[in-house]
Structure 1
Amino acid sequence: MTERLKIKLSIADRVYPLTIDPAQEEGLRKAAKNIEQLAKQFEQNYAVRDKQDVLAMCALQFASKIEQRGIEKQEDNQEVTERLQALEALVTSKLSTL
């Protein structure tokens, strides 16, 4: 049986107790720290008083980054596919002339 770790993360002035795999700890702590930093930026740059609004803005920011990476990866994959098809066509044409 895998050992589980109990940790507490503080996000937006609330403490969240979690039971996790030890391998997840670093990622979760970094994520909580990033959320806290972004929340502070939103609070400083915008007159936002409601923590729920700040957290919603953080969620939107992080989700949009993930979506944008997915779009960019899809575009990269399409470009690679097109280059491979062109290379395959070139090789095929050269082989057919032998």
Structure 2
Amino acid sequence: MEEKLKIKLSIADRVYPLTIDPKQEEGLRKAAKNIDQLAKKFEQNYAVRDKQDVLAMCALQFASKIEQGGINESENNKAATERLQALDKLIYDKLGSE
């Protein structure tokens, strides 16, 4: 059993202490860095009242990317399934005509 790792992540000028599995560290640090960078971008480009608004905007941005990715994947799977069914029909028709 792996030892837990204690780390501190800084997001929007606040420090969050976490106890994690060591294999999670890289992903969490990258995620915190991405959130922090996006928060700074929102603060610079928009009239934002407070950090909570900035973090809400960040959450919306990341969640919408995840949701859109799922929608795109679903559409791609549907298109691939339709192409495979058409190919299957062509093969079946070709083998049936010989």
Same fold (TM over 0.5): yes
Match of 1:54 in 2: 54
Report % sequence identity: 79
**Matching residue of 2:89:** 89
Unaligned runs of 5+ in 2: none
CA distance in 1, matches of 2:77, 2:23: 30
1:80 equivalent in alignment to 2:88: no
Listed as ranges, the gaps of 5+ residues in structure 1 are none
The letter for the 2-side match of 1:80 is A
Q: Deviations over 1:34-77 (max 9, x none)?
A: 10000001101111131000000000000001111111111100
**1:18-37: per-residue Cα shift (whole Å, max 9, x none)?**
11111111110010001000
Tell me the number of residue pairs that the alignment of Structure 1 and Structure 2 aligns: 98
Corresponding residue of 2:9? 9
TM-score (norm 1): 0.96
Calculate the TM-score normalised by the size of structure 2.
0.96
Q: Give distance in 1, aligned partners of 2:86 and 2:47.
A: 54
AA paired with 2:24?
Answer: Q
Determine the structure 2 residue equivalent to 1:21: 21
Q: Name whichever of 12-21 and 56-65 sits farther off.
A: 12-21
Alpha-carbon distance in 1 for matches of 2:49, 2:22: 35
